Amino acid sequence: MSAVRETASALPGAVFGWDVGGAHVKVCAVDATGAVLDVAQWACPLWQGLDHLEHTIGLVLERWPEAAQPAARHAVTMTGEMVDLFHDRAEGVREIAGTLARRLGRNVRFYANDAGWFTEAQCAAGWRSVASANWLATARWVATRVPDAVLVDIGSTTTDIVPIAGGNVAARATTDAGRLATGELVYQGVVRTPLCGVAHRIEFGDACVNVMNEWFATTADVYRVTGELEPLYDLHPSADHGPKTVAASEARLARMIGRDAHEASHEAWRRFALQWRALQLREIGANLARVVVLKPGLAKAPLVGAGCGRFLVAALARDEARSYVDFGTLAGVPGHCADWAATCAPSVAVALLASQDTEQRERLRGAA
């Protein structure tokens, strides 16, 4: 587990926002005023079985005992329904929703896009509105703060590129299949992506060489060598289950082109890592261009960075002479907590959206 700070001692009236992915569970606690109190993340290899989700829920409740109280409110979004544990996505939504509802109680609601908030029972028929909607929750909240922007959330596994225009989410597609077609979803991240999925040829020394199509190394190896991946976000085993050190990462990078680490200097392997970085940045940048070309008004709009790979978003902003806005700063979260809020942006977003909905209902009740 990685976390913002020591466990909060009391969270009265908090809304807990959950982002249940295939590889991580991220949770945020927001108070009744919409202030972010705490954020945490746990590795959760859901593809290996629902028992991993059950275990992670237990860790969340250990961290925040208040979350186990009957009056606690929980707002959930997910992408974990995609893992190959489930026969299809509908089953995945049902199983994840059922597991959370059993453990967390009656005050659990699932983010369902324009349909609002679903109960567990509604998730069965309305699973399409719930499946893989975490990016939309983040974008919807960002749109309330920055009317014209492009949200770029680069996580451990995927990149979301979401246009926001006139205070509205201007995405062309809402499903994973559709977003892969439009360029709004890029299946690359800064931790778990196998390098053979980033490029098939790469420069090393004075030559351009073929890449081995083997899971010898991941993007985490690249960003350990460049020094850009914070250890707190580096939660999954390496490709060979070896050490997550710079030296071990250099050895894994060397295997990608049929070499051993001792055949070149540390500086040479750093330059090699920077080659991989440049190729990944180019791929994300090309998809950003695909998304923006249909929204000319966003050609110079700020990039809002989220996810543990948002250092690449800042690099894209510099390359394109755009301004950069960090999600954590946008959410008004102070200090080191802002880093975790940005890394776990969808969990923060659903908590804030749910908190706002509660405030609106209370105002309407008072007006009546």
Q: Are residues 6 and 125 in the same domain?
A: yes
- Domain assignment of residue 44, given as a range: 2-135+334-367
Q: What is the CATH number of the domain that holds 277?
A: 3.30.420.190
Helix (H) or strand (E) holding 241: none
Q: Is residue 99 part of a domain?
A: yes
Q: Are residues 122 and 21 in the same domain?
A: yes
Q: What dihedral angle (degrees, nearest 10) is formed by the CA atoms of 276, 24, 132, 302?
A: -50
Q: Are residues 29 and 129 in the same domain?
A: yes
Q: Are residues 31 and 104 in the same domain?
A: yes
Q: Are residues 220 and 344 in the same domain?
A: no
Q: What is the CATH number of the domain that holds 14?
A: 3.30.420.40
**pLDDT of the residue at 196:** 97
Q: What is the residue-wise DSSP string for 146-183? A: -SSEEEEEE-SS-EEEEEEETTEE--S--SHHHHHHHT
Q: Are residues 131 and 206 in the same domain?
A: no
Rounded distance, CA 203 to CA 225, Å?
17
Q: Is residue 358 part of a domain?
A: yes
Q: Is residue 7 part of a domain?
A: yes
Q: Is residue 213 part of a domain?
A: yes
pLDDT under 50 in the chain at which residues? 1-9, 360-368
Q: Are residues 262 and 358 in the same domain?
A: no
Number of domains the chain is built from? 2
Burial class (CB in 10 A: 0-12, 13-18, 19+), 109: buried
Q: Are residues 33 and 124 in the same domain?
A: yes
**pLDDT of the residue at 7:** 42
Q: Is residue 276 part of a domain?
A: yes
Tens digits of residue pLDDT in 220-268: 999 999 999 999 999 999 999 999 999 999 999 999 999 999 999 999 9
| Cβ neighbours for 173, distance < 8 A, ≥ 6 positions apart | 179, 181, 182, 184
Q: Are residues 276 and 343 in the same domain?
A: no
Domain boundary among 220, 250, 281: 281
Q: Are residues 30 and 129 in the same domain?
A: yes
Q: Are residues 10 and 117 in the same domain?
A: yes
Tens digits of residue pLDDT in 116-152: 999 999 999 999 999 999 999 999 999 999 999 999 9
Give the SS3 label for residue 201.
strand
CB 298 within 8 A of CB 148: yes
Domain boundary among 281, 299, 323: 281
Q: Is residue 265 part of a domain?
A: yes
Domain boundary among 281, 300, 324: 281
Q: Is residue 47 part of a domain?
A: yes
Q: Is residue 271 part of a domain?
A: yes
Q: Are residues 266 and 349 in the same domain?
A: no
